[in-house]
Amino acid sequence: MYNRGIRGATTVLHNDEREILDETVLLMREIVERNQVNPEDICSVWITLTQDLDAAFPAKAIRKLDGWELVPLMCSVEVPVRGSLPRCIRLMVQVNTEKRQSEIKHVYMNEAKKLRPDLAAPSA
C-alpha cells in the first residue's frame, strides 16, 4: 500500500462563509468520487486558502460529513504570490491506496482549472 497525495482546488466568488464551506464540500466529494476513496483510507487533509478568504475555516465543512469526524484536517494560508489566483481553496488529500501515481485523479474546479489545465479534465 502507498501513501498518495490527491490535489484539488476550487474558487469562490465572494469571501462568504456559506460559499466557502459549500465549495469545500463539493471539491472534497468530487475528489472522493473520482478516486473511489473513503474517509478511513485518508491519512490527513491539508487545506489552504488565499489571504482574501477569511470568512470560514473550510475544515469545519469537511468535519461535518459522515465518517469524517476523525480525519485529521489542517487549514493554513496559501503563500501570497503577487498575481496568483484570488479566492482560491486548495486541498492536499493524503490517502492510503494501492493505486499507482498515474491512476490518481486530481480535481480542479471553477477558476482553479487555470492552475493545472493538464489535470483539470472533466469527471468521467
State the catalytic residues.
Answer: 7, 63, 75, 78, 90, 108, 116
Alpha carbon distance 13, 105 (integer Å): 25
Distance between first and last Cα of the chain: 25
**Three-class DSSP category at 44:** strand
For residues 91 and 27, the answer to whether their CB atoms sit within 8 Å is yes
Q: Which helix (H) or strand (E) holds 27?
A: helix 17-35
Pull the grid cell for residue 72. 485529521
**Three-class DSSP category at 65:** coil
